[in-house]
Amino acid sequence: MKNISFTGVITIVGSIVIVLLVGLLVRDKIIVAEDSFEETLELAQQGYAEAQSNLGRMYDNGRGVTQDYKQAVNWFKIAAEQGDAEAQYNLGVMYANGREVTQDYKQAANWFKIAAEQGDAEVQNDLGLMYANGLGVDQDDKQAVNWYTKAAEQGHAKAQFNLGAMYDSGRGVIQDDKQAVIWYKKAAEQGFAYNRGVSYEYGQEVTQDKVYAYMWYNISASIGAEGATTKRDLVAKELTPSQLERAQDLARACAAQNYKGC
């Protein structure tokens, strides 16, 4: 499965930043055997759930057919009701965005939960975010921790960071600096630091800030992430000497505190 793409806003928890996914985009997946629209439609009409889910994506993306969100919702729903986890997730996204349906976070959370219970780490993290922020569900930090943990234990970097934040702030769990550091480090070692650098460099999810972009790329480079050194050095060329010094100081401080509270 490919990771979902998204735009987002930032929720502040104490001194901790948690990414809240909004404006979700339907998760994309390569059509099995590169089926054409006609072949996918035929299989979908025969009742194959994966083909139905693929057909929903084709209508949503306008791939092989004129883009039609109404048809996308229709086929996602048919596949979701057959138990296809990706269709369940994508149908939830359509409700979250109000795309050809009335925007309904409750319905979105319902479909996310059904998909998350099938073990998809990306969906589990997103469901945790919904519980943490009370989107479509009663705000419940313990449930947020529950779903972050399920995703984090599967190696999902954003969930690991979010779980670290919960331990850091004592939300939904007993405050535990040791556990916070463990999960922050796991996330950083998986490339979360590099992704944060990208976010700050281009203003994705956060206000664009080249100083913080450099900081995260520098941290990522220090743990051997591919491409991080090149990105760090390119960003450095856009900084003034005083900005560069500050970015380097921030990176050292963050690493010294094991990425806690960065």
Residue range 184-204, pLDDT digits in tens: 888 877 778 887 888 889 987
Whole-angstrom Cα distance, residue 245 to residue 250? 9
Q: How many whole angstroms separate alpha carbon 251 and alpha carbon 180?
A: 18
**Cβ-proximal residues to 110 (8 Å cutoff; 6+ apart), any chain:** 92, 136
List, in order of start, the domains of the chain with CATH numbers: 6-144 (1.25.40.10), 192-256 (no CATH)
Q: Phi and psi dihedrals of 89, rounded to 5? A: -65, -50
pLDDT of residue 27: 53
pLDDT number for residue 142:
97
Number of alpha carbons in the 13 Å side-chain half-sphere of residue 240 = 3
From the first residue on, what is the mean pLDDT of each consecutive set of 10 residues in the chain (262 residues)?
32 35 44 68 93 94 92 96 94 90 93 95 92 94 97 92 90 92 83 82 86 92 83 95 94 82 72
Q: Residue 28: in which H helix or E strand, if any? A: none
